[in-house]
Amino acid sequence: MSHKMYVNFQELSAAGKSWEMDVSAAVLMDAEAGCVNALENVCSDAHWKGEIQRQYGIYTLRGEWSLSVLRQCDRCTGEFEWHVKGDCKRLYALEEPVDIDEEERADIEVLSPNVVLNLVDVLREEVWLAWKPCVICKDSCQGLCQGCGVNLNQDICQCKGDQRDHPFAALAKMKFDA
Ligand SMILES: [Zn+2]
Ligand SMILES: [Zn+2]
């Protein structure tokens, strides 16, 4: 894989490092391309940009990313492209930092001095952190009819007129404007 995916902290110049790149879906789904669990069903390249800067032995990584994953709607079961994006801030050090309080120290990941950071792994971790187990194709998704099972986004319900057993039927009789 291209060297631009890797950050060697010991070789980092005083100016730090910045990147803006497209990481292909194939790389994100390739188990060999990193140590973090590979993503699945990625349907667009990820846009990944960020920078790492060093100050007093602390390396601060700030990044922004976005990509699309093919997923199943939790409401209508249809497949759709789930667009997800995020930003991140991570702190690294090559030795246990001193002279900072407990709380700050907890946010800092201490790496072994010769470690090389794989930016694909960082990106994958961020995507997993942003992962939502249940997603819907659109806010206005009508879902499936509880009676006849048709996808109400595409078809007209076949069981209209007999909604008495519908779990929300009772709601129809309620007044919400009281
Ligand atoms: Zn849906
Ligand atoms: Zn129906």
Do residues 162 and 145 make contact, with C-beta atoms less than 8 angstroms apart? Answer: no
Which residues crowd ion ligand 1, with CB under 5 Å?
73, 75-76, 137, 141
156 Cα to the center of ligand 2, angstroms: 8
Window from 90-99, 105-114, 151-160, 163-172 with minimum mean pLDDT = 163-172
Residue of 132, 38, 34 whose CA lies nearest to 85: 132
Q: Parse the chain into domains and list their residue ranges.
A: 3-130, 142-178
Q: Encoding tokens for residue 5?
A: 């995916």
Summarize pLDDT for 68-98 with one digit per residue, the tens.
Answer: 999 999 999 999 999 999 999 999 999 888 8
Which residues crowd ion ligand 2, with CB under 5 Å?
145, 147-148, 157, 159
Burial class (CB in 10 A: 0-12, 13-18, 19+), 76: buried
Q: What is the dihedral of CA 149, 155, 157, 158, to 10 degrees?
A: -90
On whether the pTM is more than 0.85, the answer is no
60 pLDDT above the threshold of 80? yes
Q: Which ligand is nearest to the CA of 159?
A: 2
161 Cα to the center of ligand 2, angstroms: 9
Do residues 128 and 44 make contact, with C-beta atoms less than 8 angstroms apart? Answer: no
Higher pLDDT, 92 or 1: 92
Q: Which amino acid is at 116?
A: V
Q: Which ligand is nearest to the CA of 80?
A: 1
Q: Distance of CA 78 to CAs 29, 44, 81, 143, 150, Å?
A: 22, 18, 10, 9, 12
Q: Encoding tokens for residue 38?
A: 């590979």
110 confidence band (pLDDT: 50, 70, 90): very high
